[in-house]
Amino acid sequence: MRKLIATALCLAATVTATGCGATVEKSADPGSTAVTLTNCGRQVTFDKVPERVVTNDVGITELMFALGLEDRMAGFAMPDDKGDLTGVPWKDGYQKVKWLSKDQLTRENALAARADLVFAGWNYGFREDDGFTPDALKKLGIPSYILTESCRNGRTETTRGIMPPLEALYTDLTNLGKLFGVEKRAAALIADFKKQIADVRAKAPKGADRPKVFLYDSGQDQPFTSGRYAAPEQIISEAGGVNVMHDVQDSWTTVGWETVVERNPDVIVICDYGDMSAKQKKKFLLSYAPLRNVPAVKRKRIFVLDYVDLVESPRNPSAVARLGAYLRTVAGKG
């Protein structure tokens, strides 16, 4: 995994338990009074502060680490194709918290870990196919918190996203801060993220100079990409670009190559993860005949970000900064 911008990540880490010599706000007592939060449009009450949280996937896990809450965790599940996790501000969290599964969470994982909260999302752990859902966990006596980026929006049975993705990030940090009694820590982290992004926005291309950007996750017959409710939407827009799939009212979804060609992106951003490397994905894009006249391919304007940069996570602001620096070099060049 490529090294992140050290300064930006150190700033993000200043309100965590592991970063840059920060003073840590003490989290709430397990015996504290009940907390009610709004999660995916529903009021959810937690009778006590969770002490054995189990998380699914890298972005969700790092939200806990960024708030210094690894002492409240019983484990996490995550495939091992997410890159080198030791070079991040939260490496102590990865060293302290048990890696329960290199696939995705199961009921067995949660029960074995004696979880008192499962923090996951739809398609980030929660799924209907084998019954790993908040309702099923509730029947086992295990509360859940759903990642806001993944909230189902009711347009279909599976479409996701109910608010702009950075707002989803800030909503989850605020909710976790309230639940665990670290509101000041959450507020400081959000304020720092907003400042980092505002600094990029101030220098970003404007108007007609904004490059059109297509996010390529995976898929050769049909590309898997980001609509308006997944993190890439605002990572691209705050960096000074325009997501060519902005009108797709979903988070992560499949589109047709003909749509990509029609929208004629100036830049393609590759999501680096999975069995196919970023280098292999780039080779495919540059050799795929239907794309040969697309400006991004003709001019080989392909930029790579890691999976964890592009899902809701505390690494989103750093991704905005890095993409912003790249877009400034190609803005206005057609």
* Residue-wise pLDDT tens digits, 139-174: 999 999 999 999 999 999 899 999 999 999 999 999
Torsion angles phi and psi, residue 124, rounded to 5:
-120, 45
The reported pLDDT for the residue numbered 87 is 73
> b or e along 72-89 (b: 16 or more beta carbons within 10 Å of the residue's beta carbon)?
bbbbbbbeeebbebeebb
Q: Are 10 and 196 in contact (CB under 8 A)?
A: no
6-192 CATH: 3.40.50.1980
How far apart CA 303 and CA 213 sit, in angstroms, is 10
C-alpha count within 13 angstroms, C-beta hemisphere, residue 184: 7
3-class SS at 303?
strand
pLDDT at 246 over 50: yes
Same fold, 6-192 and 205-330: yes
Single-letter residue type at 90 = W
pLDDT at 91 over 60: yes
pTM: 0.90
The reported pLDDT for the residue numbered 31 is 60
| Residue 26 burial (C-beta neighbours within 10 Å; 0-12, 13-18, 19+) | exposed
CATH superfamily name and code, 205-330: Nitrogenase molybdenum iron protein domain (3.40.50.1980)
Domain-wise residue ranges, the chain: 6-192, 205-330
Percent of the chain residues past pLDDT 70, beyond the cut: 89
pLDDT at 14 over 50: no
Q: Dump the DSSP string for 175-203.
A: HHHHHHT-HHHHHHHHHHHHHHHHHHHHH
- Number of residues that this document lists for the chain: 334
pLDDT at 94 over 70: yes
* Residue-wise pLDDT tens digits, 177-229: 999 999 999 999 999 999 999 999 999 999 999 999 999 999 999 999 999 99
The reported pLDDT for the residue numbered 84 is 66
Average pLDDT over residues 29-33: 67
